[in-house]
Amino acid sequence: MPLKRFWAIYKQDQAAVTSIEYGLIVMAIALACMTAYFLAGDAVREMVFHASSTIETATSIMAEE
């Protein structure tokens, strides 16, 4: 069973398991970030575009005065 093998490796060399765990955690965080970017990417781009157009409008109004 994989669990027994994992436990044997863990008891024998805890540093190896720790590096594997860190790798899995990093991959999970990267996957979560990519998922959040793809789900919220359009909304974020729309907010940035809206903010930049608002800044351009305010700048042009101040330049006219």
| Total domains present in the chain | 1
Confidence at residue 48, expressed as pLDDT on a 0 to 100 scale: 73
Q: What's the mean per-residue pLDDT of the chain?
A: 77
Question: How far is CA 5 from each of CA 1, 2, 18, 25, rounded to the nearest angstrom?
Answer: 7, 5, 15, 20
pLDDT confidence of residue 15: 67
Residue 1's pLDDT is 62
Note the pLDDT of residue 31.
Answer: 92
Distance CA 7, CA 3 (A): 6
Residues of the chain with pLDDT under 70: 1, 14-17, 64-65
Q: Which residues contact 17 (CB under 8 A, 6 or more apart)?
A: 6, 9, 10
Name the residue among 27, 25, 20 with its Cα closest to residue 5.
20
